[in-house]
Chains A and B, each alone.
Chain A
Amino acid sequence: MGGLIRADLKKLFKSKSLYVCMVIAAILGVSMSLLYNYFWQERGQNIALWYALMDQYNMKTDVLDEALRQIPSQNLLSYINIFFSDGALWLIGSPCICAYCAAEFNSGTYKNTVSRGVSKTKLFFSKVIVSVIEMFMLSFVYVLAGTLAAVSHVDFETDLEAGRIVFLGVIYFLLIIASASVFVMLTILFRRSGFAVAAAIAAPMLIASLIQIASMANPELSELTGYVLMNTYVTVFTSVNDGGGLKELFTAIGYTAVSLLTGGIVFRKSEIR
């Protein structure tokens, strides 16, 4: 297994797509950072305008005060939340990982290893581990580039206690593993990066739409949108901030387990071409 992972890592670092994706991740990180800073400043000006208007017409400001209190301040954590919740990581990760995993199908190299008695399960898990590493690398570059761009205008202080920050980190960690597992599973199912990427991007939207349609008949079903993996990236920060986060934690674990199980079984049973 160690040899397989080392070989897969070498293949990853030899592929140009990794470096292209990392550059795109860095550019996206910086762009997002600058864009959100601009909106933040705009928001500040608007808030000042609202207060001025309310004062002018002698209106009570309690509702606005409460609403603003619930919006996280412009600090490092809120920035990181923005990076994870905007869907950019999903959009960068899916083509990178699907292309990396599909390369083996495209070149037909699985037949070399399988015909030499290498276990398909080991081949699958090696691919998952290296894909998770790739997803972490992309996340790191994306967040780091964005954070560096934001250093000048971000307050590093936070009122979130250390334990919650660690918990938030753990959930993000598991979400990244879950996303990589989903991308690998989709590539194993479709054997082509194009189809896998299309499925990775379309499936969350399709599922969310179906839930919305279903919730017209039964409004309680709308809560299911919280279990769509892409949406979990959006809700996790607020949940942890409010003392929750377990739903997101189990969602990440669930997606990982189902993807590994499905991908592993399908690959084991499939014929190698």
Chain B
Amino acid sequence: MEYVLKTEGLTKIYSKTRVVDNVDMLIRPGDIYGFVGKNGAGKTTFIRMLLGLARITNGKVSFFDGENIRRARKKTGSLVESPSFYPNMTAEENIRIFCRMIGEDEKQAKSVLEKVGLADTGRKKAGHFSLGMKQRLGLALALVGDPEFLILDEPINGLDPTGIAEIRKLILSLKNEQGKTLLISSHLISELEKIATRYGIIAKGRLVEEITADELDQKCGNKTSLRTSDADRTVEILKKLFDSDKIEKSADGIVYISEKIEDIGRITNELYNNNITVKTISSTDNTIESYFIERMEGG
């Protein structure tokens, strides 16, 4: 299979406002695609169009190399915005009734609840669940029928740190052990960072950047910049101290070291011993979060 999801020029206009603007997205099998954007950037509207919950103004959506859309949606589990369920029913009853409605085997109810840690909720009605338990029930509904593709909109909302870790583990096992593909939208970039293999950044309805986790790692991280009396010789000396591809020199003569520096004194001493004067030295911490924020603002 070449792709799990492909959108071409996907657009949504609500009363003359382009909420989603010409988005082309490609998600390949096995991806955990982190979908990042500010509130109101168009993430949820985009997801709602994928799932047939919102009408598409323009553009095209196709799943699984162009499979029939209704069949494809049967193989796509989702959790959109807040979890939805019948509050007067137990977790198991909710799963069973959902299975009945979409034509799945009701026997899977227990195993699905076990996966999300809700197996022992007994006769407690879902309406009386805590926020975290409701979120888990929403995830359980998404997992019904063992879907190949999962679209999760803010899946860790309301979970405590233990819950977040458990859901992270579940997501990773879905990808690594079962080969599932996931599209996850989240505000919690630090959490996405731990699981995503690719990212899409949406700002004001436009997909401003798609980047792999490896590319992102290269672009982010600690950076130390030096302005010295002799930039070229500084580069030569630093290349002996660090991995050579981590040393760069800008056109205006600033030397950059793309690595976390534990001992600044070692650099300054080495340069001093080589009769090079350090004029300025500064360290910037370009985290993934700040990278995303910059892109989201700049959209």
Contacts and interface: CB of A to CB of B under 8 A. Distances in A.
Interface of A: 3-4, 6-7, 10-11, 14-16, 103, 107-109, 111-119, 269, 271-273
A4 B98 CA distance: 9
A113 B86 contact: no
Contacts of A273: 53
Which interface class (under 10, 10 to 19, 20 to 34, 35 or more) fits B? 20 to 34
B229 interface: no
Nearest to B151: A115
B128 interface: no
Interface string B98-127: 101111000000000000000000000000
A118 B70 CA distance: 8
B85 A272 contact: no
A107 B78 CA distance: 16
Given A3-B100, A116-B74, A118-B102, A108 B82 contact: yes
Interface of B: 48, 51-55, 69-74, 76-78, 80-82, 84-89, 93, 97-98, 100-103, 141, 145
Contact of B86 (A11, A16, A115): A11
A32 B159 CA distance: 54
Contact of B101 (A7, A15, A269): A7
Given A116-B74, A116-B76, A15 B53 contact: no
A112 B98 contact: yes
Contacts of A109: 84-86
B131 to A, nearest CB: 15
Contact of B89 (A14, A108, A113, A114): A14
A39 to B, nearest CB: 41
Given A113-B102, A117-B74, 16 more contacts: A7-B100, A10-B100, A14-B93, A16-B88, A107-B84, A109-B84, A112-B98, A112-B101, A113-B101, A115-B78, A116-B73, A116-B77, A117-B102, A269-B55, A271-B53, A271-B54
A119 B84 CA distance: 18
Contact of A115 (B51, B88, B89): B51
Given A117-B72, A271-B53, A112 B84 contact: yes
Given A109-B85, A271-B54, A272-B53, A117 B101 contact: no
27 contacts: A7-B97, A7-B101, A10-B97, A11-B97, A14-B86, A14-B88, A14-B93, A107-B85, A107-B86, A109-B84, A109-B85, A112-B84, A112-B85, A112-B101, A113-B101, A114-B53, A115-B51, A115-B76, A115-B78, A116-B102, A117-B71, A117-B102, A118-B102, A271-B48, A271-B54, A272-B48, A272-B54
A107 B82 CA distance: 10
Contacts of B86: 11, 14, 103, 107, 109
Contacts of B81: 108
Nearest to A271: B54
Contacts of A107: 84-87
Contacts of A116: 73-74, 76-77, 102, 145
Contacts of A118: 101-102
A15 B93 CA distance: 13
Given A114-B51, A114-B52, A115-B52, A3 B103 contact: yes
